[in-house]
């Protein structure tokens, strides 16, 4: 693991700038790999459980919760004075294998979801700072995504989820989604959805843009414009799951430099627009989800993060640190 003797860590710079820079954390790597937890604690001031707080991971059987992995990550964050994001209470994916919607009435599904939110968010009332309450409820065309939750409760499940979370936690509550980082049809739909919910006094504090920059890299100027319009609604805006890759069959010769330039541009756009939190989706390239992800036949380069497989700091790392340092000096 490179130390770049004499240089401040990314966390040093972020703390001084009062900026939140985080990473998604895997519990097994945290337990088994000293370089992993040393990098996570020294270079980041925020953590998100990558999968440990998703419903499927938490609910191994109908009457059982397993909080061991989630507790390990939350405790790690607290012990290292880090901002902890909870991800996620309501999602259409990664539900428990034993949960089959057709075995339940609409009323039973509603009660199941309410009880899940109360149990999980309530457990971490004082230890999780922010929750992605509802994740990816809007489809790519801007319509409400059809899910087990919407089938049983209609679009109203979104408002209910936020209200149920607000009943049991002191955390800030976020709506989180992909593909809406810049101004486009989907982000317009999310804007309209959140505006409607706010008009009904639904307790929403912010919106999370995932920013998985894969085949297409959203325009940083449009990202800034998008951040500004959501902030004008009174919402905080966070970049919650950032990584930067290229299609496997079209990786440029200067990929590391182009990746660094894009990270820098996004950080600069965020700072100018008032976004104060960026979370990368993983600590280092060796643990990225992209190495096992395949999207409609497309694969992406498996080196999308700030640290390489050996925990060496990449050009992207220095680009992010330098962008924060430059802004701090203004």
What average pLDDT score do residues 287-309 get?
89
Query: 258 in a domain, yes or no?
Result: yes
276 catalytic per annotation: no
pLDDT in tens, 118-130: 999 999 999 999 9
Among candidate residues 43, 50, 182, 241, the one labeled active-site is: 241
Query: 224 in a domain, yes or no?
Result: yes
Can you give the residue range of the structural domain that contains 165? Answer: 10-328
- At 327 the pLDDT is 76
- Among the residue ranges 5-9, 283-287, 292-296, the one predicted with the least confidence is 292-296
Query: 5 in a domain, yes or no?
Result: no
Query: 1 in a domain, yes or no?
Result: no
Query: 3 in a domain, yes or no?
Result: no
Query: 193 in a domain, yes or no?
Result: yes
At residue 215, does pLDDT exceed 90? no
Assign residue 22 the CATH number of its domain: 3.20.20.80
Q: How many domains does the chain have?
A: 1
Query: 4 in a domain, yes or no?
Result: no
4 catalytic per annotation: no
pLDDT in tens, 151-202: 999 999 999 999 999 999 999 999 999 999 999 999 999 999 999 999 999 9
Query: 2 in a domain, yes or no?
Result: no
Among candidate residues 43, 50, 136, 182, the one labeled active-site is: 136
Q: With helix as H, strand as E and coil as C, how does the chain read?
A: CCCCCCCCCHHHHHHHHCCEEEEEECHHHHHHCHHHHHHHHHHCCEEEECCCCCHHHHCCECCECCCHHHHHHHHHHHHCCCEEEEEEEECCCCCCCCCCHHHCCHHHHHHHHHHHHHHHHHHCCCCCCEEEEEECCECCCCCECCCHHHHHHCCHHHHHHHHHHHHHCCCEEEEEECCCCCCCHHHHHHHHHHHHHHHCCCCCCEEEECCEECCCCCCHHHHHHHHHHHHHCCCEEEEEEEEECCECCCCCCCHHHHHHHHHHHHHHHHHHHCCCEEEECCCCHHHCHHHCCCECCECECCCCCCECCCCCECHHHHHHHHHHHHHHCC
What average pLDDT score do residues 62-78 get?
97
């Amino acid at each position: 693991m490179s130390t770049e003797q004499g240089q401040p860590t990314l966390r040093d710079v972020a703390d001084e700038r009062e900026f939140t820079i985080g990473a998604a954390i895997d519990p097994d790597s945290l337990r088994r790999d000293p370089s992993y937890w040393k990098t996570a604690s020294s270079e980041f001031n925020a953590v998100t459980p990558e999968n440990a707080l998703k419903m499927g991971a938490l609910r191994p059987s109908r009457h059982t919760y397993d909080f061991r992995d989630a507790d390990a990550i939350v405790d790690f964050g607290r012990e290292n004075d880090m901002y902890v994001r909870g991800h996620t209470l309501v999602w259409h994916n990664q539900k428990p294998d034993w949960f089959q919607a057709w075995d339940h009435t609409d009323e039973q599904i509603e009660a199941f979801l309410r009880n899940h939110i109360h149990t999980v968010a309530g457990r971490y009332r004082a230890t999780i700072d922010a929750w992605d309450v509802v994740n990816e409820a809007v489809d790519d065309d801007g319509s409400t995504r059809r899910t087990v939750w919407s089938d049983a409760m209609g679009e109203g499940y979104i408002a209910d989820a936020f209200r149920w979370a607000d009943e049991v936690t002191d955390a800030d509550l976020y709506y989180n989604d992909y593909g809406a980082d810049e101004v486009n049809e989907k982000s317009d739909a999310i804007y309209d959805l959140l505006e409607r919910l706010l008009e009904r006094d639904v307790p929403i504090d912010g919106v999370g843009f995932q920013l998985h920059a894969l085949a297409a890299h959203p325009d940083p100027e449009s990202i800034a414009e998008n951040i500004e319009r959501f902030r004008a609604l009174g919402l905080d805006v966070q970049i919650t799951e950032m990584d930067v890759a290229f299609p496997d069959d079209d990786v440029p010769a200067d990929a590391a430099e182009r990746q660094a330039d894009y990270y820098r541009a996004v950080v600069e756009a965020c700072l100018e627009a008032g976004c104060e939190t960026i979370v990368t989706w993983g600590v280092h390239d060796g643990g990225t989800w992209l190495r096992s992800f395949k999207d409609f036949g497309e694969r992406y380069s498996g080196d999308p993060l700030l640290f390489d497989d050996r925990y060496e700091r990449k050009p992207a790392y220095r680009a992010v640190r330098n962008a924060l340092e430059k802004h701090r000096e203004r």
